[in-house]
Amino acid sequence: MPQLSDALKIGDIDIKNRIIMAPLTRMRSQQPGNIPYALNAEYYAQRAGAGLIISEATQISQQGQGYPGTPGIHSAEQVAGWKLVTDAVHKKGGKIVLQLWHVGRISHPSHQPGGGAPVAPSAIIAKNSSTFTADWKETPILEPRALETAELPGIVNDYKNAAQNAKDAGFDGVEVHGANGYLLDEFLQDGSNKRSDNYGGSVENRARLLLEVVDAVVSVWGKGRVGVRLSPYGTFNDMHDSDPKALFSYVLEQLSARGIAYVHVIEPRSSGAGRADVKVDEVPSTSELFRSSFKGTFISAGGYEAENAKKVVAKGHADAIAFGRYYISNPDLAQRVIEGKALTPYNRATFYGGTEVGYTDYPFA
């Protein structure tokens, strides 16, 4: 019976335990330039006891940015900044992959090149959703511009270039962010994708951009160092689909056929994506529903605590568990969970922006 403390081989990445640090947006990159720096390196190195660290979501291009203070991976300065982080994590014996991110419609003209409209598969506003302007003012989502078919190869190439930059920065692999209502998820789900070209309509067409991105990233890294994050049944950023089971079963089967290292699937019971502690009970378990559709390593995330994490791994519904918010307040979370030690509560007020407070000043057990 597998346990959280067991080692695991994820594709070509060997990890020391099955406790994963989930990607956590903290908005603390150095300005101007959205550049990781020494404080970020300290934060990640403190958490190197995780079997695998998945970095905070990192924009692949300026067009891909949606929030102030989030790091990029599209400039030489950003690559050098991330090298500080990967060196610090590796020095502590940890493994870290970079999450590749394009926010799509969840942006604001203040982040966009030339102040243009954010881009999306279709010109549909994300209702009851918000982001932040470049000067940290919360703002409702505006109507995005529908991408032209001819623009999509350029976006795929942005992902490929970002994957190469991540390699140059010393990461152990990359995760393609296909969840939480950002660009690739917007293409997947028919609530946000009303296109009539080869990227809209059927499940196969809506999955096309994600799969093209995965293929491009695999061409840089090899399949054994690439993962994908998905959020079936998630409602964050006004996401919905008419048949999530058919859609995500197809996507997972296609990813399985490509032999990528892992998929990282969010349980819909926890769909607030950091803005609030949202727990929804009347939803299916994505780990139970979709585990059989993917033959590689299956990482489950979303509202886990130590006991239910242990049970899910023991039952084989997931191979590893990603913890998010509790990794903010417990830099040694893996050790605490394995040894049954109490967890330090987190302070939501210090999640986004700032410096050391609520970032690198949480105690070790």
Token pair, residue 89, equals 């994590």
Question: Mapped to the 3 state alphabet, what secondary structure does the chain carry?
Answer: CCCCCCCEEECCEEECCCEEECCCCCCCCECCCCECCHHHHHHHHHCCCCCEEEEEEEECCCCCCCCCCCCECCCHHHHHHHHHHHHHHHHCCCCEEEEEECCCCCCCHHHCHHHCCCEECCCCCCCCCEEECCCCCEEECCCCEECCHHHHHHHHHHHHHHHHHHHHCCCCCEEEECCCCCHHHHHHCCCCCCCCCCCCCCHHHHCHHHHHHHHHHHHHHCHHHEEEEECCCCCCCCCCCCCHHHHHHHHHHHHHHHCCCEEEEECCCCCCCCCCCCCCCCCCCHHHHHHHHCCCEEEEECCCCHHHHHHHHHHCCCCEEEECHHHHHCCCHHHHHHHCCCCCCCCHHHCCCCCCCCCCCCCCC
Q: Which of 182, 199, 304, 326 is catalytic?
A: 182
| Inter-axis angle of helices 208-221 and 152-168, nearest 10 | 30
CA distances from 266 to 3, 28, 233, 263, 323 (A): 20, 24, 9, 10, 11
Is 44 among the catalytic positions?
A: no
Report the catalytic residues. Answer: 182
